[in-house]
Structure 1
Amino acid sequence: MLRKLDHKNMGKSNLGWLRSIFHFSFAEYFNPTNINFGALRVINDDLIESMEGFDTHPHQDMEIISYVIDGELTHQDSMGNKRTLSRGEVQYMSAGTGVFHSEHNFGNKLLRLLQIWVYPDKKGYEPNYGDYRFPWELRKNKWLPIVSGQQGNAPIKINQDANFYVVELEKGNEITFEVNKDRQAYLVQIEGESQINDINMNAKDGLEIVEENINIKATENSSHILVIEMKKA
């Protein structure tokens, strides 16, 4: 089963310094039929103006992954971490029993990132932070595993049976992705355009995939894609 979610119909917010597209219910956007997709609770496509950001605030019992698309993201938290990440780099924070953090754009250009929340497999984990600076070429025309569950093979591991992959597919190239029985996946067309099976995907669109393999063809320039694969709800 495949179901496209057109970004033009998603929830949106414009606070001036922050412009967001919400793949699922978040903040002032509430849709009771669109709360989550399995363990996946939040995907926010955020644009943050220079010298702006989220001041210190708390989180608890959530696995939080940030994927930087363009610009620079500076993270600081109550565990003593302070890091700045750029395009294609990933940070992870397990909020667990509770943590405070801030996220800012201290660069001189617009920051775009995907903010992703995944329910943990249980509550009460010890808070944890990590990040990884993936060389861009590792995702050229091939899947790059960036996040996995504790038993997976990605360098960033979360407390949930969920696996994150990214690819930048050059125009005209094709790649497949398997979603097996009792598994589901959510795909974000980050940049560019693709044809996925018989569905045309534009930048910022989403795609729900349940127990179905897909073939992706880049149709316009390069196609930058994220897939989050997990157990079926």
Structure 2
Amino acid sequence: MLKKIDNKNMGMSDLGWLRSKFHFSFAEYYNPNNINFGVLRVINDDLVEVNTGFDTHPHRDMEIISYVVDGELTHGDSMGNKNTITRGHVQYMSAGTGVYHSEHNLGKDRLRFLQIWIFPDKQGYKPNYGDYRFDWNKRENKWLHMVSSKDGDAPIKINQDINVYSLELEEGKEINFQVDERRQAYLVQIEGKALINSIELEDRDGMEIVEEDILIHSKENSHILILEMSKEN
């Protein structure tokens, strides 16, 4: 089963300093039929203006991943971490029993990043933070496995049975992705235009994929993120 999520129908917010598209219910956007997709609770496609950002605020019992599309993202938290990541890099935080953090754009250009929240497999973990600066060319015309469960083999390991992959597919090229029985995936067409099993996605669109393999054909250079998980949760 494939279901296209047109970005024009997503929740939206414009605070001036922050403009967002919400793949799932968040903040003032509430749709009782669109709360989560499996263990995936939030994907916010955020545009953050220079010298602004999210001031210090709390989280708990959530696995949080930030994927930078353009610009610089500077993180600070109550565990003493402070780091800046750029295009194609990932930061992750297990909020666990509770943590305070901030996210700011201290760079020279507007920041675009995907803010992703994932339910943990249980509550009460010790808070944890890390980041990973992936080489961009590791995802050129091939899947870059960035995030997995603690039992998986990705560089970033979180407290849930989920796998996160990124891809940059050149115009005219094709690539497969397998979604097994009792598994599902959520795809974000971050940049460009592609056909997913003949369904056209444009930049900022999404797609739900349930127990179905897909063939991606890039109509334009395409930057794609896939989150693959169990269907049982």
Correspondence list, 1:85-96, <5 A: 85-96=85-96
Aligned-residue sequence identity (percent) comes to 69
Q: Distance in 1 between matches of 2:151 and 2:143?
A: 18
Q: Which residue of 1 aligns with 2:33?
A: 33
Q: Distance in 1 between matches of 2:95 and 2:140?
A: 32
Measure how far apart 1:208 and its partner are: 0.1
Measure how far apart 1:147 and its partner are: 0.5
1:232 is matched by which residue type in structure 2? Answer: K
Measure how far apart 1:108 and its partner are: 1.0
Q: Which residue of 2 aligns with 1:199?
A: 199
Q: Which residue of 1 aligns with 2:226?
A: 227
Q: Secondary structure at the match of 1:137?
A: helix
Q: Which residue of 2 aligns with 1:147?
A: 147
Correspondence list, 1:111-190, <5 A: 111-190=111-190
Measure how far apart 1:75 and its partner are: 0.1
Unaligned runs of 5+ in 2: none
1:106-163 residue CA offsets vs partner (Å, 9 max, x unmatched):
0010000000000000000000001000000000000000000111111000100000
Give yes or no for the alignment of 1:67 onto 2:67: yes
Q: Which residue of 1 aligns with 2:216?
A: 216
Q: Which residue of 1 aligns with 2:79?
A: 79
1:42-90 residue CA offsets vs partner (Å, 9 max, x unmatched):
0000000000000000000000000000000000000000000000000
Runs of 4+ in structure 1 off by over 6 angstroms are: none
Unaligned runs of 5+ in 1: none
TM-score (normalizing by structure 1): 0.99
Measure how far apart 1:198 and its partner are: 1.6
2:225 is matched by which residue type in structure 1? Answer: L
Count of residue pairs the alignment pairs up: 232
1:60 is matched by which residue type in structure 2? Answer: R
2:90 is matched by which residue type in structure 1? Answer: V
Q: Distance in 1 between matches of 2:216 and 2:149?
A: 25
Measure how far apart 1:21 and its partner are: 0.1
1:108 is matched by which residue type in structure 2? Answer: K
Q: Distance in 2 between matches of 1:199 and 1:71?
A: 30
Q: Distance in 1 between matches of 2:106 and 2:198?
A: 41
